[in-house]
Chain A
Amino acid sequence: MTVAEYNHAVNEYADRIFRFVVKNIRNESTAQDIIQDTYEKLWLKHEGINFSKVRSYLFTTAYHTMIDQTRRDRKTLDIEEAHPKASHPQDEPFDLKANLNRALDQIPEIQRNVILLRDYEGYSYDEIADITNLSESQVKVYIYRGRIALRKLIGSPEVLI
């Protein structure tokens, strides 16, 4: 990968990876560090990486950096306090997007990760499997579980009616 291609990878993917990480860890400062670490690792290896693989490399690297970070943070983070409940206030009109975002915070991390990769980036099961070191079948199961969990957290199907 050339310098120009590396810079193109910055323009093309930095925002997208940042959104993925921020959505997961909900901490912009830490997310910035993760993105910088990710691109630093890419730069160190850029001569040996084909540009066609750079997107996968970046997401994979960012994902594992993020997982390492969250494992370190988990000891001190009170999940219940950090994550608001998904249910919307009864006296406010139903906002699907806001409720979905709240619900996303409450589902297990692995489910959130695979669903974000699926929805944000449109990755296939096998691509997500490569990024997350899961099997394709596991990815599919986690996505299904996550979808059901999100639906249950959002509420009954009639909320849209």
Chain B
Amino acid sequence: MKLDRNNYEIFLIDYIDGNLSLDDRRIVERFLAANPDIAEEYENTKEAIIESDHISSLELDNLYRSFSDLPKINETNFEEFCIAYHEGDLNEEEKGRVDTYLQQNPEAKALFQLHKSIRLQADLKIQFPLKDQLKKHLIVPMRRYFYLAGASAAAILIGFGLYFASVREKSDFPPAVKRVNIANTQIENLPQSQHNSIQLQEALNRNETKAKSSPVQTRKLLAVLDTTEQDPPGTIVLARIEPLVTTVHYSMKENEPDMPQVQNSTNSQVISNYQHAHADPPPTEGHSRVINRETILVGALRVGLKGYNSLTESDLALNAEQDREGRIKGISLSGENFEMERKFNNHINKN
């Protein structure tokens, strides 16, 4: 059947449905080019399809074939060619046809240029403001600050001598424990509690060095009193989980020797301090001064350790719990929304 103005609708339907051979499609396209009124009708039909939510196979087929098979660019399909050109969907031969069309139809250049111009560009000023809270960090033990009350009971006793009149036996100081109970670490009442899907216990698993906590949790988890089997007996580590920036202040009384003064410490400073604490000879300036480690814990307990979490803008406090005889039977670290404690099997005598 020969295509003419009396039967073109049948051909167009088959054309739109993608049921025509390549040769027949070209016959239809030549017919449309020769009959602008019917071409307009065809465009309206195609527009109607495009406006629908459903993408039919014929539409896809039409779009694909229009760029690969259509032998001629016309006013009707030129815009799609413009898009295809700028999307990089045309081969060199097809781009050459577009260029030729533009030379022959200068009025089409405006549309071509407009499509070239309407490419979206990201606004680099828009930045995610909470990147630091997304990041994960290693737990950095702050042994420098506490270095914890001493590596051994004997050393502690010697150290105590600097501040306290009496010296206790080695057994008075708590031995190392495998695991500190942090089961009661609470993060209740957080404003974004829906994020708290990960158990802190997992995050603080004894054998792990990575904090497996969500960003929100990480922001709120302040510190934990901790120790490891590898630490010297009596060691208590105030471990930090970044990106917290926990500033630790030692409030000292007069006539007491200097203790580390750490203010507004950053993560890098904490690490630096830790490194300094292990340097030999130790640095002598500022907060990096090393004193008898044995004095620090008891000294801190005595004067009251104060800390500050700059992210949550809340205070931290290290407190001692005494038994009836005035010996330290446990210590606790408390802050906003949490309190952690450690009990000593062997109470520490402060005097």
Residue of A104, A140, A143 with most partner-chain B CB within 10 A = A140
Tell me the bound Cα distance from A6 to B134 in angstroms. 9
For B55, list chain A residues within 8 Å (CB). 137-138, 141-142
Q: Are A100 and B131 in contact (CB under 8 A)?
A: no
Tell me the bound Cα distance from A6 to B215 in angstroms. 13
Q: Is B63 an interface residue (CB 8 A)?
A: yes
Q: Is A32 an interface residue (CB 8 A)?
A: yes
Q: Is B123 an interface residue (CB 8 A)?
A: yes
Q: Are B121 and A119 in contact (CB under 8 A)?
A: yes
For A137, list chain B residues within 8 Å (CB). 55, 60, 63-64
For A15, list chain B residues within 8 Å (CB). 124, 126-128, 131
Partner among B80, B87, B111, B123 whose Cβ is within 8 Å of the Cβ of A19:
B123
CB neighbors of A among B158-200 (8 A): 195, 197-198
Partner among A144, A158, A159 whose Cβ is within 8 Å of the Cβ of B63:
A144
Q: Are A145 and B120 in contact (CB under 8 A)?
A: no
B-side interface size class: 35 or more
Query: With contacts A144-B83, A148-B83 known, is A96 near B118, CB below 8 A?
Result: yes
Q: Are A151 and B128 in contact (CB under 8 A)?
A: no
Distance (Å) between the CB of B267 and the closest chain A CB?
13
Q: Which residue of A lies closest to B138 (CB)?
A: A3
For A150, list chain B residues within 8 Å (CB). 118
Query: With contacts A14-B131, A14-B134, A18-B126 known, is A157 near B120, CB below 8 A?
Result: no
Query: With contacts A119-B121, A120-B120 known, is A145 near B114, CB below 8 A?
Result: no
Tell me the bound Cα distance from A43 to B196 in angstroms. 13
Q: Are A7 and B60 in contact (CB under 8 A)?
A: no
Tell me the bound Cα distance from A17 to B295 in angstroms. 51
Q: Are B114 and A160 in contact (CB under 8 A)?
A: yes
For B137, list chain A residues within 8 Å (CB). 3
Distance (Å) between the CB of A69 and the closest chain B CB?
13
Distance (Å) between the CB of B75 and the closest chain A CB?
13
Q: Which residue of B lies closest to A21 (CB)?
A: B128
Q: Are B83 and A147 in contact (CB under 8 A)?
A: yes
Tell me the bound Cα distance from A148 to B60 in angstroms. 16
For B89, list chain A residues within 8 Å (CB). 140
For A131, list chain B residues within 8 Å (CB). none
For B121, list chain A residues within 8 Å (CB). 97, 119-120
For B64, list chain A residues within 8 Å (CB). 137, 140
Q: Is A68 an interface residue (CB 8 A)?
A: no
Q: Are B215 and A36 in contact (CB under 8 A)?
A: yes
Distance (Å) between the CB of B311 and the closest chain A CB?
15
Q: Is B48 an interface residue (CB 8 A)?
A: no
Query: With contacts A96-B117, A144-B63 known, is A160 near B131, CB below 8 A?
Result: no
Tell me the bound Cα distance from A100 to B119 in angstroms. 9
Q: Are B128 and A32 in contact (CB under 8 A)?
A: yes
Q: Which residue of A lies closest to B79 (CB)?
A: A148
Q: Are B138 and A19 in contact (CB under 8 A)?
A: no
Q: Which residue of A lies closest to B80 (CB)?
A: A144
Pairs of residues from A and B, 4 with the lowest C-beta to C-beta distance, nearest first: A157-B110, A18-B128, A119-B120, A157-B111
Q: Which residue numbers of A lie inside 8 Å of B, CB to CB?
A: 3, 6-7, 10-11, 14-19, 22-23, 32, 35-37, 39-40, 43-44, 96-97, 100, 104, 115-116, 118-120, 137-138, 140-145, 147-148, 150-151, 154, 156-161
16 residue pairs from A and B, CB less than 8 Å apart: A15-B131, A17-B128, A32-B130, A37-B195, A96-B117, A97-B121, A119-B122, A137-B60, A138-B55, A138-B60, A144-B80, A144-B83, A154-B118, A157-B113, A160-B113, A160-B117
